[in-house]
Amino acid sequence: MKAKLVRVMPSFRKKMEQLDIDIEDGLKNALMRMSRTAVDMSPVDTGSYVTSFSFSTGEGRPRGKSSENKPKVANKQAVKDLGYDQLVLDINKLDLRNTTSFNFRNGSPHALDVENGTHWKRTAGYKVFAKIRNIYG
């Protein structure tokens, strides 16, 4: 049996390349919306938790700051904006076309306390990651 040669037209190739770009942009926008949601629903006391979110592909240390001996922040929105800006930088570093998985995490030493309320008396936990999973799947 003789192999049949298939020719791909340049216009089709261009459409496929544009589709790749559109998918990457869509994913990037979804990650930015998810980042904004996570930051907006996060509590701010010292700012350590909200600035410890990160996206990574597994290389390097996760961003994580301790709140121990830190004063309470005066401008909570400014700290949330900083946390969001850091996530945008992370997203822009991701090679979304060639990455099959990445992590969204909070490397703060007290991240589980914030999430679950473990070792706390003031709240049962903020459930930030649980809420993010409910919203974004």
The per-residue pLDDT for range 7-27, each reduced to its tens digit, is 888 898 899 999 999 999 999
pTM metric for this prediction: 0.85
Structure tokens at 43: 């509590």
Q: What's the CA gap between 134 and 29, in Å, rounded?
A: 18
Domain boundaries, the chain: 14-94+103-108
Residue 37 has pLDDT above 80, yes or no: yes
Contacts of residue 70, defined as CB under 8 A and 6 or more positions apart, other chains included, come to 46, 47, 48
Q: Mean pLDDT over residues 62-91, rounded?
A: 89
The H or E element containing residue 103 is strand 103-106
Which tens digit of pLDDT belongs to each residue from 94-132? Answer: 998 888 888 999 999 999 999 998 877 777 899 999 999
First-last CA distance in the chain: 48
Query: What pairs with residue 103 in β-bridges?
Result: 56
Residue 126's φ and ψ, nearest 5 degrees, are -90, -15
Query: Average pLDDT over the chain, rounded to whole?
Result: 90
Q: What's the CA gap between 18 and 8, in Å, rounded?
A: 15
